[in-house]
Chains A and B, each alone.
Chain A
Amino acid sequence: MGLRSKVKASPTEALAGLEDGMTLHVGGWGGIGVPDILIRAIAASGIRGLTISTNNCGMGRPGDVGELFAAGCVKKVLTTFPVHASGVQFKERLDAGEVELEIVPQGTLAERLRAAGAGLGGFYTPTSVGTPLAEGKETRVINGREYVLEMPLHADFAIIRAVQADTFGNLRFRYANRGFNPVMAQAGKVTIVQADEVVQPGAFNPDDVHLPGIFVDRIVVTGAQQ
């Protein structure tokens, strides 16, 4: 008897339990590694009041984060680079006062996610010292250098994208589509992966696993299932 399969029959089944007002990490960077099928399913679900963490806020590409804004799912977004010439869906909601925006430096976002996944209570970073993004935050001088206290960033759900998964959720990525996906998976209470292809456990050499399946709860397959 092999390891239990986490593969779900549909995006809707995989997203069971995601409710109004929850927090959600959305993988992807610069338009690649984006879990577009899961985003579409959330946009179509009528969910409201989500607080999402995402590197970008949409570039007008099919299935990108912009569709969550267009569908009115998002109450607040934590992001590093919201502005894109084609990202009109986010901008419309922001200008209408319907979305709260928190800009987070990219390395700080990554480390806040890591702190959540690693069970830490926060960390001190030199990033943002002396800038508007440090305003109101606790600072501390360590070995003569000033640092800003940043908090872990947990989420009720994380949705990520991988190129390959085995049915237990061991994942492989490809080039820059890895991005935020592993660290977001580690910071989600329930982590759902959209995999382009699914294989049986044992198909990957353990040394070649990019993210262990213990960080993955549910799998949706968009392509081949072997």
Chain B
Amino acid sequence: MNAPTGWNKAEQAQVVASRLAPGSVINLGVGMPVSVAAAITAEQQIVFHCENGLIGYRALEENEPVDPDIIDAAILPIQVIEGAAVVDLMTSFMVARGGRLDATILGAFQVAANGDIANWSGAVGRVAGVGGAMDLAVGAKTVIAMLKHTDREGNPKIVERCTLPLTAVGCVNLIVTDLAVIRVTDAGLVVEEMAPGLTREALIAATGATLDFA
């Protein structure tokens, strides 16, 4: 049996983008999540927020000139949209903690069935950076974890309980991997969507926590 390849990176970004409500205010975390900016449609009228204080940005168009002062959380060049605003870090995190974000999309090393997320330290004791992840995770109305379903060694990243240092407790609402879309509910993990060609058995085998199927 060939292992299912799942969604590629651009497809996974489109799956995430399809879950964003029109007109919502969204923060994109470092890593895979920043790719979502290029996956939305103009009709969605999404307002992207960045920790650095940019409110209202978009992905660069092909061959568009780079402005070194306009960057996203991954320090990659972006461009502000019409209607954008710029604030300082303190005000930017008022947006994050103060309940103004409809969703934050965070990369993750591990997500647990209880909604815990570990996304800042790949190993206990290793030097790592937390950035704004902890503030975003506790402040956004919805937390979407966007990650590969398994690590490089094939170990599940969706687990019953996180073993890595936590970013926040019980905050994840939706998990979008290269294999599936999974909702975190009080009753456990519920699969809402699977990549084409993937079987339930293959998904269960790649997951370290109990899955229900919607």
Contacts and interface: CB of A to CB of B under 8 A. Distances in A.
User: Does chain A bind chain B?
Assistant: yes
Interface of A: 29-32, 55, 59, 79-83, 91, 94, 101, 103-111, 113-114, 125-133, 173-183, 210
B87 to A, nearest CB: 8
B167 A80 contact: no
Interface of B: 50-54, 67-71, 75, 80, 86-90, 92-93, 96-97, 127-136, 138-139, 165-169
B167 to A, nearest CB: 7
A31 B52 CA distance: 11
A66 B90 CA distance: 24
A97 B72 CA distance: 32
A181 B166 contact: no
A29 B134 contact: no
B84 to A, nearest CB: 9
A115 to B, nearest CB: 10
Contacts of A94: 127
Interface of A is mostly: mixed
Nearest to B78: A176
Given A82-B127, A103-B128, A133-B134, A29 B97 contact: no
B50 A105 contact: no
A125 B168 CA distance: 13
B166 A80 contact: no
Nearest to A104: B130
B171 to A, nearest CB: 10
Given A81-B131, A106-B131, A130 B168 contact: yes
A105 B96 CA distance: 12
Given A82-B129, A176-B69, A132 B166 contact: yes
A125 B52 CA distance: 20
A101 B97 CA distance: 25
A32 B68 contact: yes
